[in-house]
C-alpha cells in the first residue's frame, strides 16, 4: 500500500466521520431544545412600549412629561428586582392564594443551665413572624408549668415544683396562620450544700475560711458558621475570677463518623397526636457528638406548618420515640420530615408522606415527590431519541459493510478492517454519549422549570432557569471532551514499552513490515525492536528481524522506520 493510497483512504474516512459528527450535533441540539418554545412580541410608540417574552415576564411602560409608569405581569409566581442609583426594590408575584408567612425561632436561651434548688431561671426567645411566644417547663416528675414570654425579652421565674433533677423547656412561637415553631432545651437543679453546725463552748472563737469554688456552666456548641463553633460559659460558683474557664470557640471539623437517619413508625393516637420513631445509627467511629435535630410537618401546599429543634448527644445508636400534639391534623396530605445537622455542617434527613382521612392516618408509599415526576413530553422525547439511535446504528452498520467491500480491494485488509471497525465502534459510542447528554439536559431543564427545590430563600424559577444556562455549556463541554479525548491524546505520542507492543511497523515509503513482537532494553533505555514479519503475501526465510530504535522516524498510531527497504530484510534478518 502506497502512502498516497493510505492518505486518500484516511481522508475519505475523516470525511465520512465528519458527517457522523454533524448528525450527532444535530441530534444533540434537537434533544436539548425540543422542549423550548420561545415567543416574543414588542410594540412601541412615542409614549408607551409593551413587551412579552414567552409565557413569562410581561412589561409595559407609559410616560409623559410629568410621570412615568411601569407595569409588570408574570405567568407564574416569582420575584423581580429593580434598582436605581438611590433605591433597590424587589417585587413579589404570588398565585391567587393567601400569603403564607413561616414562623421561625431565631434564638433562645436558658440561664443558668445548672443551679441549686430554689434558684430563679431566666428564659429568653427571639422569633420571626410570630403572633405569640411561650414556654412549657416540664419538671422531673412530669408537671408542666406554662410561661408566657415576650419576643426579644428575658423572663425570670422560679421553677414549680423546685426539685432536684433535669427540667425540659420547650419554647414555642406561632403565627397568625396557625403554624407553630418550637425548640427544646434543658436545665438542671441540684441539692443545696449544707454547712455543718459549729460546736458549743466558751473561750475564744475560731474563724473558718470557706474557699470559693468555680462552677462553669456552658451552652451547647453552636452550628458551624464561618468555619467556627462558639458557646458561652458562665461561672455560677462562688468565685469571681476566670480561672480554668473552658474554651468558647473552636474550629469546625468534619465528624469522624457518619450518621444514618432511619424513620420507622408513624401513627395517630386517639387524641389525634402524631406518634413516630426514628433511629440515629452511627456508622463510623465511637466518638460522642451533639446532633441538632429538626422535626417538621409540611402540608400539601409545601408550607411548613410545624417545626421543632432540639439537640441530642449520640454515641453508637440512638432510638427516639416522639410525638407532636401541638397541632391537630385535618384531612389532607402531609410530610413528616426529620433533619439532622452535625459536625461541619454534615447533614442527613428522612421523610414520610402520609394522608389523614376521617381522622385516620394512611402512609403514602411509593409515590415520588412532584418535582421528581417525569412528564409525558420528556418520555416521548426520550423514546424518539432511542428510536433515532437505533436507526442511526443500523444505517452505520450498512454503510460500514458497503465501505468494507470497496476498501477490501484498495488497501491491506488487516490494517483498514481493524481501523474501520474501531472507528465505527467509536462513532457509535460518540452518538450514545451525545444522546445521553441531551437526555440529561432535558431532564435537568424540565425538572427545574418553575419549581423551587427545598426551602431556600430567594430561590425563584427564573434563577433556577438561569442556573440551567450554566449547566448546559458544562454538559456540552464534558461531552466534547469525552468524544474527542482520543484525538486530543493522540497528538502526544508515547514511547513507553507497553505502548509499543503490537504496533504496526511501516517504512517511510508506506510499505508494511509487520508488528512489534518484543522491545529490547539495554542500559535502561530502548535499544531495538523485534518485529514479526508479515508473511501473508511474501514468504521470508526468517519470521522476524531486529530494527535499531535509532532508525525509528516517528511513532503515533503506527511506527515509521526511516531509510529502510523491504529488500534489505535479508541483510537485517534475525538468524
The CATH number of the domain holding residue 526 is: 2.30.30.240
Mean pLDDT for 81-107 is 68
pLDDT band at 487 (very low <50, low <70, confident <90, very high): low
Given a cut of 90, whether residue 575 has pLDDT beyond it is no
H-run or E-run covering 312: strand 304-314
pLDDT for residue 410 is more than 50: yes
Give CA 126 to chain center in angstroms: 32
Q: Are residue 381 and residue 343 in the same domain, yes or no?
A: no
Name the domain boundary from 303, 332, 367. Answer: 367
Look at residue 182 and tell me if it is in a domain. no
Mean pLDDT of 122-151: 91
Q: For 333-337, what is the mean pLDDT? A: 89
- What span, in angstroms and rounded, lies between the C-alpha atoms of 107 and 525? 71
Long-range contacts of 445-453 (CB under 8 A, 24+ apart): 445/32, 445/35, 445/36, 445/472, 446/35, 446/374, 446/375, 446/377, 446/378, 447/371, 447/372, 447/374, 450/76, 451/370, 451/371, 453/371
Are 479 and 398 contained in the same domain?
Answer: yes
In the predicted structure, residue 230 carries a pLDDT above the cut 70: yes
Q: Is residue 382 scored above 70 in pLDDT? A: yes
450: pLDDT strictly greater than 60: no
Instruction: Give yes or no for a contact between 91 and 72, defined as CB atoms under 8 angstroms apart.
Output: yes
Confidence at 58, pLDDT banded by 50, 70, 90: very low
Residue 140 has pLDDT above 70, yes or no: yes
Which residues contact residue 47 at a Cβ distance below 8 angstroms, ignoring those fewer than 6 apart? Answer: 62, 63, 64
Identify whether residues 548 and 564 lie together within a single domain: yes
Give the contacts of 253 (CB within 8 A, at least 6 positions apart). Answer: 343, 344
- Kindly state whether residues 386 and 441 are assigned to the same domain: yes
Q: Other CB atoms closer than 10 Å to residue 24's CB: what's the count?
A: 22
pLDDT at 45: 54
- The whole-number pLDDT of residue 134 equals 93
Query: pLDDT grade, residue 414 (50/70/90)?
Result: very low
Has residue 512 got a pLDDT over 90? Answer: no
389 and 429: one domain?
yes
pLDDT digits (tens, 9 = 90+) for 271-306: 778 888 888 776 665 567 778 888 899 988 888 889
Over 90: is that where the pLDDT of 137 sits? yes
Query: Angle CA(392)–CA(394)–CA(397) in degrees, nearest 5?
Result: 110
- CA-nearest of 455, 144, 478 to 325 is 144
Please determine, for residue 501, whether its predicted confidence score (pLDDT) is greater than 80. yes
Query: For residues 57 and 76, what is the distance between their CA atoms, to the nearest angstrom?
Result: 9
- Say yes or no to pLDDT of 348 above 90: no
Indicate the pLDDT class of residue 53, thresholds 50, 70 and 90. Answer: very low
Is residue 135 situated within a structural domain?
A: no
Which residues lie across from 174 on neighbouring strands? Answer: 132, 180
Per-residue pLDDT, averaged over 386-398, amounts to 78
Q: Are residues 22 and 65 in the same domain?
A: no
Q: Is 432 helix (H, G, I), strand (E, B) or coil?
A: helix
| % of residues, the chain, pLDDT over 70 | 54
Residue 227 clears pLDDT 70, i.e. is over it: yes
Most confident of 428-442, 444-458, 488-502, 558-572: 558-572
Q: Is residue 453 part of a domain?
A: no
Whether residue 302 is contained in a domain is answered as: yes
Asked if the model's pLDDT at residue 481 lies above 80, the reply is no
Say which DSSP state 54 is in: T
Mean pLDDT is lowest, of 41-55, 89-103, 139-153, 395-409, for 41-55
Listed residues 62, 78, 93: the one ending a domain: 93
Which tops the pLDDT comparison, 541 or 171? Answer: 171
CA distance 571 to 518: 20
pLDDT: which is higher, 357 or 19 = 357
Residue 458's pLDDT is: 32
Q: How confident is the model at residue 6 (pLDDT cuts 50, 70, 90)?
A: very low
- Between 489 and 165, name the one with better pLDDT: 165
User: What pLDDT, on the 0 to 100 scale, is given for residue 149?
Assistant: 93
Catalogue the E-assigned strands of 331-372.
Answer: 332-342, 346-357, 360-363
Q: What's the pLDDT at 550? A: 86
Assess whether 338 and 425 both reside in one domain: no
CA separation for the pair 274, 265 (Å, rounded): 10
Residues 380 and 362 in one domain: no
Q: With bands split at pLDDT 50, 70 and 90, how would you rate the model's confidence at 54?
A: very low
504 found inside a domain: yes
Please indicate, yes or no, whether residues 286 and 363 belong to a single structural domain of this protein.
Answer: yes
In this prediction, residue 170 has a pLDDT band, given cuts at 50, 70 and 90, of: very high
Is 546 among the domain residues? yes
The confidence band for 193, taking pLDDT boundaries of 50, 70 and 90, is low
Between residues 153 and 78, the one the model is more confident about: 153
Determine the structural domain holding residue 400 and report its residue range: 3-34+376-446+473-489
Same domain, 421 and 441: yes
Q: What average pLDDT does range 466-490 have in this prediction?
A: 60
pLDDT bin (cut points 50, 70, 90) of residue 249 is: confident
Which DSSP symbol is given to 510?
A: S
Least confident of 84-93, 300-309, 507-516, 539-548: 84-93
| Burial class of 12 by CB neighbour count within 10 A (0 to 12, 13 to 18, 19+) | middle
Residue 225 has what pLDDT? 77
Per mean pLDDT, which of 129-133, 218-222, 378-382, 443-447 is the most reliable? 129-133
Of 489, 516, 541, at which residue does a domain stop? 489
Mean pLDDT in the chain? 70
Answer yes or no: is 128 within a domain: no
**Residue 357: CATH number of its domain:** 2.60.40.10
In the predicted model, is pLDDT for residue 263 greater than 70? no
Alpha carbons 79 and 56: distance in angstroms, whole number: 12
Higher pLDDT, 149 or 45: 149
422 plus 346 within the same structural domain: no
Domain count, the chain: 4
Question: Is the domain of 418 the same as that of 503?
Answer: no
Contact status, residue 467 vs residue 448, Cβ threshold 8 Å: yes
- Within a domain: residue 211? no
Nearest in space to 123 (alpha carbons), one of 113, 105, 111: 111
By DSSP bridging, strand 180-190 and strand 114-116 are: parallel
Alpha-carbon gap, residue 141 to 462, rounded angstroms: 54
Residue located via cell numbers 450498512: 398
Residue with cell string 470557640: 249
CA dihedral 143→144→145→146, nearest 10 degrees, is -170
Range of 136-150, 207-221, 272-286 with top mean pLDDT: 136-150
- Residue given cell 408607551 in the structure block: 48
Amino acid at each position: 500500500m502506497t502512502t498516497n493510497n493510505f492518505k486518500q483512504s484516511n481522508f475519505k474516512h475523516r470525511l465520512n466521520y465528519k458527517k457522523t459528527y454533524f448528525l450527532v450535533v444535530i441530534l444533540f441540539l434537537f434533544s436539548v431544545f425540543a422542549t423550548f418554545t420561545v415567543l416574543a412580541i414588542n410594540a412601541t410608540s412615542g409614549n408607551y412600549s409593551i413587551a412579552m417574552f414567552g409565557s413569562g415576564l410581561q412589561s409595559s411602560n407609559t410616560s409623559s412629561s410629568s410621570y412615568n409608569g411601569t407595569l409588570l405581569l408574570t405567568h407564574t409566581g416569582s420575584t423581580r428586582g429593580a434598582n436605581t442609583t438611590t433605591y433597590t426594590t424587589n417585587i413579589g408575584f404570588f398565585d391567587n392564594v393567601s400569603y403564607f408567612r413561616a414562623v421561625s425561632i431565631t434564638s433562645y436561651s436558658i440561664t443558668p443551665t445548672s443551679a441549686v434548688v430554689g434558684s430563679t431561671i431566666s428564659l429568653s426567645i427571639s422569633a420571626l413572624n410570630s403572633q405569640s411566644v411561650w414556654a412549657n417547663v416540664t419538671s422531673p416528675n412530669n408537671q408542666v408549668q406554662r410561661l408566657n414570654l415576650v419576643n426579644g425579652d428575658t423572663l425570670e421565674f422560679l421553677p414549680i415544683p423546685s426539685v432536684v433533677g433535669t427540667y425540659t423547656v420547650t419554647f414555642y412561637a406561632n403565627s397568625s396562620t396557625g403554624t407553630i415553631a418550637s425548640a427544646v432545651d434543658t436545665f438542671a437543679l441540684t441539692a443545696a450544700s449544707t454547712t455543718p453546725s459549729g460546736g458549743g463552748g466558751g473561750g475564744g472563737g475560731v474563724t473558718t475560711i470557706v474557699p470559693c469554688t468555680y462552677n462553669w456552666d456552658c451552652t451547647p456548641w453552636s452550628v458551624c458558621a464561618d468555619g467556627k463553633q462558639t458557646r458561652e460559659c458562665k461561672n455560677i460558683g462562688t468565685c469571681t475570677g476566670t480561672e480554668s474557664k473552658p474554651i468558647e470557640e473552636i474550629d469546625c471539623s468534619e465528624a469522624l463518623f457518619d450518621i444514618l437517619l432511619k424513620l420507622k413508625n408513624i401513627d395517630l393516637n386517639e387524641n389525634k397526636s402524631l406518634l413516630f420513631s426514628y433511629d440515629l445509627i452511627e456508622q463510623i467511629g465511637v466518638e460522642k457528638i451533639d446532633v441538632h435535630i429538626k422535626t417538621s410537618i409540611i402540608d400539601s401546599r409545601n408550607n411548613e406548618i410545624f417545626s421543632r429543634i432540639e439537640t441530642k448527644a449520640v454515641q453508637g445508636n440512638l432510638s427516639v420515640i416522639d410525638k407532636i400534639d401541638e397541632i391537630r391534623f385535618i384531612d389532607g396530605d402531609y410530610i413528616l420530615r426529620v433533619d439532622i445537622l452535625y459536625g461541619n455542617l454534615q447533614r442527613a434527613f428522612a421523610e414520610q408522606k402520609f394522608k389523614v382521612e376521617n381522622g385516620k392516618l394512611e402512609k403514602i408509599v411509593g409515590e415520588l415527590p412532584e418535582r421528581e415526576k417525569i412528564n409525558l413530553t420528556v418520555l416521548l422525547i426520550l423514546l424518539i431519541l432511542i428510536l433515532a439511535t437505533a436507526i442511526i446504528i443500523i444505517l452505520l452498520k450498512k454503510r460500514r459493510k458497503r465501505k468494507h467491500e470497496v476498501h477490501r480491494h484498495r488497501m491491506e485488509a488487516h490494517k483498514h478492517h481493524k481501523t474501520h471497525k474501531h472507528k465505527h465502534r467509536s462513532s457509535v459510542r460518540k452518538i450514545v454519549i451525545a444522546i445521553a447528554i441531551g437526555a440529561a439536559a432535558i431532564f435537568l431543564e424540565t425538572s427545574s422549570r418553575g419549581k423551587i427545590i427545598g426551602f431556600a430563600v430567594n430561590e425563584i424559577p427564573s434563577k433556577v432557569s438561569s442556573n440551567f444556562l450554566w449547566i448546559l455549556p458544562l454538559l456540552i463541554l464534558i461531552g466534547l471532551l469525552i468524544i474527542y479525548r482520543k484525538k486530543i491524546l493522540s497528538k502526544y505520542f508515547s514511547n513507553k514499552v507497553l505502548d509499543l507492543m503490537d504496533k504496526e511497523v511501516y517504512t517511510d515509503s508506506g510499505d508494511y513490515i509487520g508488528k512489534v513482537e518484543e522491545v529490547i532494553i539495554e542500559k535502561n533505555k530502548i535499544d531495538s525492536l523485534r518485529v514479526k514479519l508479515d508473511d501473508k503475501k511474501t514468504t521470508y526465510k526468517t519470521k522476524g528481524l531486529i530494527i535499531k530504535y535509532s532508525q525509528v522516524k516517528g511513532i503515533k498510531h503506527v511506527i515509521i522506520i526511516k531509510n529502510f527497504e523491504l529488500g534489505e530484510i535479508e541483510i537485517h534478518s534475525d538468524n
